Amino acid sequence: METIVIALGGNALLSPKGRQSVSKELGIMNTIAKSIAKLANRYKIVITHGNGTQVGDELLKNMNSKIEPLPLYLLNAETQGSIGSSIETVLDSDRPKRGFCTVVTHAIVDRRDGAFRKPSKPIGPFYSRRELLAELRKERFSYVMERGLYRRVVPSPKPIGIVEIGQIRHLLEKYNVICGGGGGIPVFKKGGAYAGASAVIDKDHTTQLIANMVGAKKMVILTGTDYLYRDFSDKSTFVKRISANDLKEMLGMLEEGTIRPKAEACARFVELGGEAAYIGSIGKLEEVLSGRSGTTVER
């Protein structure tokens, strides 16, 4: 039985424009649970997921709490557990032959990674200009503009290893695995142990790393859009099929921190031995895999 890795976008699971809602998150998961359950009869499944909105919300709660705030890497651990639990609960309700289990995952980074000097990963809610200025009066932080709104950014180093990869491979022999949530809890080697890093890893890079390390044939990145677009503002520029080499050449045209990591991950997955990678809407998994929707990346 071949392995397929499916990445669920954090913003697609829960709209960043509204207040965090568990019921909304579960409702969106229910729309794709049956499609994933069908795949469980043909594939060993690994599911990863984003958490940019959720970890950002937890960061805001920490800032406004009288209790000492948790470091960013532990907020990642919290949201991995909560989102993983939601996904696992919904998927197991369809009772596939191979059940699902969640692995809280640590991703190894290099503490010398240049990303620590140049924050680029968007997290948390979107702000209007007025809201941003109000937030900056409370606390200084880096931010970027996305589609006319503003969003906080934090360091996003590349993952170079997965601490639990042995356990993930072992579990895949009997179960489907939910892991790598939010890109993993960022850690670096410090002496003979690991220490947490104040960063958020892009889940698409971690998804690709896990996909290649478990020998997956296919990798699907599900997000809030139907296709990869050469120009997101012009929906006629959608890409239906593209080679990994051609995709690498157009990376400079894509928005950093949002769609570019998805494209980079797809190109690298195929380069390192994957059969095909896909980018498409979180509600159209079956259509994306069949080529009726979404972008297919091949050799």
Q: Which domains does the chain have, with CATH numbers?
A: 3-51+64-108+161-216 (3.40.1160.10)
**Residue 203 designated active-site:** yes
Report for 25-29, 31-35, 75-79, 253-257: range of highest mean pLDDT: 75-79
**For 38-42, 52-56, 104-108, which range has the lowest pLDDT when averaged over its residues?**
52-56
Judged by average pLDDT, the poorest of 31-45, 71-85, 178-192, 210-224 is 31-45
Catalytic residue among 44, 76, 176, 203: 203
Q: 9, 11, 183, 218: which is the annotated catalytic residue?
A: 11
- Higher pLDDT residue, 179 or 90? 179
| Catalytically annotated residue among 158, 218, 262, 284 | 262
pLDDT grade for 102, boundaries at 50, 70 and 90: very high
Please determine, for residue 19, whether its predicted confidence score (pLDDT) is greater than 60.
Answer: no
Confidence of residue 90 (pLDDT cuts 50, 70, 90): confident
Q: What is the mean pLDDT of residues 12-29?
A: 59
pLDDT for 257-276, tens place per residue? 678 999 999 999 999 999 99
State pLDDT tens for residues 67-86: 777 888 998 999 899 888 88
30 given a catalytic annotation: no
In the chain, what percentage of residues exceed pLDDT 70?
Answer: 90
Confidence of residue 16 (pLDDT cuts 50, 70, 90): very low
Residues 6+ apart with CB under 8 A from 171: 101, 103, 177
Q: Is 11 a catalytic residue?
A: yes
**Higher pLDDT, residue 21 or 258:** 258
pLDDT at position 14: 54
Q: Is the Cα dihedral 60, 124, 91, 26 positive or negative?
A: positive
Residue 255, pLDDT score: 79
38 annotated active-site? no
Residue with tokens 């509600």: 283
User: What single DSSP character describes residue 101?
Assistant: E
> Active-site residue among 44, 121, 158, 218?
121
| Mean per-residue pLDDT, 4-21 | 67
What CA–CA distance (Å, rounded) separates 148 from 144? 10
C-alpha to C-alpha distance for 206 and 61, rounded to whole angstroms: 26
The verdict on whether 10 is a catalytic residue reads yes
Comparing 85-94, 139-148, 159-168, 218-227, which segment has the lowest mean pLDDT? Answer: 85-94
pLDDT of res. 168: 98
Average pLDDT over the chain reads: 88
